[in-house]
Chains A and B, each alone.
Chain A
Amino acid sequence: AQSVAQPEDQVNVAEGNPLTVKCTYSVSGNPYLFWYVQYPNRGLQFLLKYITGDNLVKGSYGFEAEFNKSQTSFHLKKPSALVSDSALYFCAVRDRNAGNNRKLIWGLGTSLAVNP
């Protein structure tokens, strides 16, 4: 069965420190991988995606993510956290062989708190 795991419900970091939000996945084929962010009482906003090519993907707001095929991981990173990065982060995956059904499999989310 396809699944996405975000092992940490909450991540706390100090402003200015690097942050990592973890994601591992399980799909039958090769995946498309996504990160979305959700601010309070808002819809989800796309951050970045991995399709193919370079394993390090750069996205919005200074975020990046590294695809690791052997570890089936797609961890979200940022070199220097801002208080405004505090939000809920979701990892999602789609099997690239899914055809017309573009259903994303979503993780349960990780709440990031950046402390001033």
Chain B
Amino acid sequence: EAEVAQSPRYKITEKSQAVAFWCDPISGHATLYWYRQILGQGPELLVQFQDESVVDDSQLPKDRFSAERLKGVDSTLKIQPAELGDSAMYLCASSSEGDVYNEQFFGPGTRLTVL
């Protein structure tokens, strides 16, 4: 069964350092999402891509966060510099262009701890 891949699964870093997360969506899925989930809360959409284009990045803290999907397939989310408040689970999801009902498939997530 096709899955969304994410790496690393866990990342520990010190504040002010740079971190990067990688996501490989299900093959053929045009839409890719990055979410941040703080423990005990629901997912917060950071950025949504349609192919290589950003559809929604209104909640992305652009002073320190950046995301790219250069070839419209896999994607990288970067934080520079990391702050203590960035500690969270970062989830990647994808959905098919043909699925107008927006069923999203999630990866296992990357748990970030900033010390």
| A: contact size bracket | 20 to 34
- Mask, A25-50, CB within 8 Å of B = 1, is 00000001010100001111110010
CB nearest to B9 among chain A residues: A41
User: For chains A and B in complex, what number of residue pairs have CB atoms within 8 angstroms?
Assistant: 57
CB nearest to B31 among chain A residues: A102
Asked if B113 CB lies within 8 Å of chain A CBs, one says no
Alpha-carbon distance between A78 and B44 when the two chains are bound, in angstroms: 27
Whether B102 pairs with A44 at a CB distance below 8 angstroms is no
| B: contact size bracket | 20 to 34
Whether B108 pairs with A42 at a CB distance below 8 angstroms is yes
Asked if A104 CB lies within 8 Å of chain B CBs, one says yes
Q: Which residues of B contact A107 (CB under 8 A)?
A: 42
Residue of B91, B101, B105 near A32 (CB, 8 A) is B101
* Given A102-B95, A106-B43, A109-B40, A49 contacting B111 (CB threshold 8 A): no
Whether B102 pairs with A102 at a CB distance below 8 angstroms is yes
Asked if A22 CB lies within 8 Å of chain B CBs, one says no
Asked if B14 CB lies within 8 Å of chain A CBs, one says no
Q: Which 9 A-B pairs give the minimum distances between C-beta atoms? A: A43-B106, A106-B42, A44-B106, A102-B102, A43-B108, A108-B42, A43-B109, A51-B101, A43-B107
Q: What residues of chain B have their CB less than 8 Å away from a CB belonging to chain A?
A: 4, 6, 31, 40-45, 48, 50, 55-56, 91, 93, 95, 101-109, 111
